Amino acid sequence: MSIPYNAGVPSALAAALLFGTSTPVVKLLLGPVNPWLSAGLLYLGSGFGLALLRLIRKAPPVHLSHGETKWLACAILAGGVIAPVLLMWGLSRMPASSAALLLNAEGVLTVLLAWFVFRESFDRRIASGMILIVLGTVVLTWSSDASFDSMLPALAIVGACLGWAIDNNLTRKVALADATFIAMIKGLTAGGTNIMIAWLLGITLPQPFVLLATGTLGFFSYGLSLVLFVVALRHLGTARTGAYFSTAPFLGALLAIPLLGESLSIQFVVAALLMAVGVWLHLTERHEHWHTHEELEHEHEHIHDDHHQHAHSEVVTGAHTHRHRHKPLAHSHPHYPDAHHWHDHE
């Protein structure tokens, strides 16, 4: 079966690879450090790094509409402020092995919200692929000493996962905006929140070299990863992006084998097989039917393709940004639930 190409797929997998890399590398840099300090340093590194990158590139200012500003603010509140606090409270009251298992709920909740609240399209093939990927992450993070002695800490961690799931779905609402700007704002906010939590807990900062190295890692593993995640949202929709990104723990564990000298276990092999089949089901998806595009006006970077046919006062080639109007259009072609294919299905 041929695999239809979509720019969102390599973006989502690259985002997962960069994010998964952070786990084994940060262990080398910081060792057994407070999770809020490490998260804060990584997020701040991503925010400051992207701000510097935008300055060097002389990126134009981003003007979000009132609606987009609202969605982004709500996403940051849910995923950058509330979720870390809930995670802190839950982690401090239950074993880390149990918490690691519960953190798999983020991918599940992201997909369920996308499907049943935000009405993103899916079929049995996509649902089966997601189930296999989630099973793979559960197998990978399962620990024999995992226990759930108290409901409240477990509910707090699930609440944190719900916050990130809401964040992922709301970020899709602004995915057409400059991805570096979106990732920069989220990184600075989440980083500031986590650093504040670490400060309230009395955690001291590591040596300057470690700070610089961790910030640099944050730029790549959190900053560029989030940029790629936003790009994937633009092309794939939330559920499919979330499914590909759920492979991050596996990619991190794969990297830990040579970096940290960890052994290749049966648990790892089983997880790899489950995830591989799940990703294959998603990669080989072909969704095609007759659909109608309603009239729409918005602004984002685009090229003159089948969905962007409009006149300019001067000759324009390549990708460019301006406010433009989509005329009503009805046609049939393979597509994903991307920014231009958000329609109901019977």
pLDDT, tens digit, 9 for 90 and up, residues 264-309: 778 888 888 998 898 888 777 775 656 565 766 666 565 666 666 6
pLDDT at 113: 92
Query: What is the Cα–Cα distance from 133 to 137, expressed in whole angstroms?
Result: 6
* 92 inside domain: yes
pLDDT at 76: 92
* 309 inside domain: no
pLDDT band at 2 (very low <50, low <70, confident <90, very high): very low
Is there a contact between 100 and 141 (Cβ–Cβ < 8 Å)? yes
* 331 inside domain: no
pLDDT, tens digit, 9 for 90 and up, residues 217-262: 899 988 999 999 999 998 888 888 988 888 887 877 777 777 667 6
User: Partners of 298 in the beta sheet?
Assistant: 324
* 329 inside domain: no
Give residue 71's domain range: 7-284
* 316 inside domain: no
Start-end of H helices in the chain: 8-30, 35-57, 66-76, 83-91, 96-102, 105-116, 124-141, 151-171, 179-200, 208-218, 225-236, 238-245, 248-260, 266-283
* 169 inside domain: yes
Residue matched to tokens 């939590």: 197
Q: Which residues contact 83 (CB under 8 A, 6 or more apart)?
A: 159, 160, 161, 162, 163, 164, 167
Are β-strands 296-302 and 329-334 bridged in parallel, bridged antiparallel, or unpaired? Answer: unpaired
User: Among residues of the chain, what percentage have pLDDT more than 90?
Assistant: 20
pLDDT at 232: 92
* 268 inside domain: yes
If we measure between CA atoms, which residue out of 293, 274, 278 comes closest to residue 338?
A: 293
Q: Reply yes or no on whether the pLDDT at 4 is more than 60.
A: no
If we measure between CA atoms, which residue out of 182, 247, 238 comes closest to residue 15?
A: 247
pLDDT, tens digit, 9 for 90 and up, residues 91-112: 777 776 677 677 778 888 998 9
* 189 inside domain: yes
Is there a contact between 154 and 148 (Cβ–Cβ < 8 Å)? yes
Mean pLDDT on 18-42: 75
User: What is the token pair recorded at 245?
Assistant: 């990104």
- Structural domain count, the chain: 1
